[in-house]
Homo-oligomer: A and B are copies of this chain.
Amino acid sequence: MDLTPFEADARLARDSELLTRIGLCELRLMRDARWPWLVLVPQRTDVFEMFDLTPLDQTMLTFEINLVADALKRATGATKINVGALGNIVRQLHVHVIARSEGDPNWPGPVWGFGMAEAWDNTDKNAFTAKLLEHLNS
């Protein structure tokens, strides 16, 4: 059994902050205020594709993606939730869950690779995070 503590990839750790852990995944918030943008990182080392996970972990990941996506939709009232596992840059498996609304930056195009990140205002970030966690628990 590998007892090394799980660590998110260095770029993921730089670009996002840990909000909480839910079963399989770390739930992280991207340091980019342009969209309510979450990332789920399964706490498994050396896993690059979803199909590299065990069947149980695949089911857990699906459950957690849908739990978080549903809470994010209710917390934001977004038009559409975008879910994506790309990994072209950061290879460690991670799943983006993003609240999109008509007229947001690059709508209806994707968020990845668009423009430059904008820092969160701390008050806004704390309010968003509190609301999200409340919806995650209800």
Contacts and interface: CB of A to CB of B under 8 A. Distances in A.
Q: How many copies does the complex hold?
A: 2
Chain A binding surface, main DSSP class? mixed
Contacts of A88: 79-80, 82, 100, 107-109
B58 A62 contact: yes
A83 B80 contact: no
A87 interface: yes
B86 A69 contact: no
Interface of A: 48-51, 58-59, 61-63, 65-67, 69-70, 73, 79-89, 91, 100, 106-110, 112-113
Nearest to A67: B51
A44 B36 CA distance: 28
Nearest to A91: B80
Given A51-B69, A88-B109, 12 more contacts: A50-B62, A50-B65, A59-B62, A61-B62, A80-B91, A82-B84, A82-B85, A86-B110, A88-B108, A89-B108, A108-B113, A110-B113
